[in-house]
Structure 1
Amino acid sequence: MTARIFRPAKNAMQSGQGKSKHWVLVFEPEAPREIDPLMGYTSSTDMASQIKLRFDSLEEAESYAKRKGIEYVVQQPHDVERKKVAYADNFRSDRKAPWTH
């Protein structure tokens, strides 16, 4: 049973960095999902796929996995470079393309 440790990206509907500072440990699926023939739902017999553990730091998540004897893979986060943009830049005289309505 292998696990993946990662820091989740921010939700597309949020502008801040909430819920993206902690690290998450999830187990990789061991059995494929199956489609129920009667209702059409997808289901799995893998109960470990429902477990999602949150940690405050990467070191805590790694030490938990080592204590429990869980093989794990760490995915490093992709930090986004924010570009500072001001509304006044739309009206600068040195714009490459003219601003029109």
Structure 2
Amino acid sequence: MRARIYQPAKTAMQSGVGKTKLWVLEYAPASSRTVDPLMGWTSSTDTQTQVKLRFDSREAALAYAAAKGIEAEVVEPKPRKHNVRAGGYGENFATGRRGAWTH
């Protein structure tokens, strides 16, 4: 059984880093998906693809995979570039503002 261990990226609907600190162990699909001829739904006989295990650290996820005999591949997260403005949002309402108020 194969699995991958990764740290999820932030969703497009959040500006913070919520739910991105944990590591996730997700099983790879063991069988292909099929289309039901009557309803057109996509289904599979593999129920392990529905399982996502969350761990506090990468080492804990690797230890779990080793203990259960799971062949795991670790995907390292890409570093996030911080977007910090020099003045920040509060600078829009400063009393010592030099430019004309335009809105």
Q: Which TM class, normalised by the smaller chain length? A: 0.7 to 0.9
Match in the other structure for 1:13: 13
After TM superposition, give the deviation of residue 30 of structure 1 in Å: 1.1
Unaligned runs of 5+ in 1: 89-101
Match in the other structure for 2:27: 27
Over the matched positions of the two proteins, sequence identity in percent amounts to 55
**What root-mean-square deviation, in Å, do the aligned CA atoms of Structure 1 and Structure 2 show?**
2.1
Q: How many residues align?
A: 94
Q: What's the CA shift string for 1:34-59, capped at 9, x where partnerless?
A: 11111111000011111110000001
TM-score (norm 1): 0.83
SS of equivalent to 1:74? strand
Alignment of 1:1-101 (within 5 A): 1-85=1-85, 86=88
TM-score (norm 2): 0.81
Provide runs of 4+ in structure 1 moved above 6 Å.
Answer: none
After TM superposition, give the deviation of residue 84 of structure 1 in Å: 2.0
After TM superposition, give the deviation of residue 10 of structure 1 in Å: 0.5
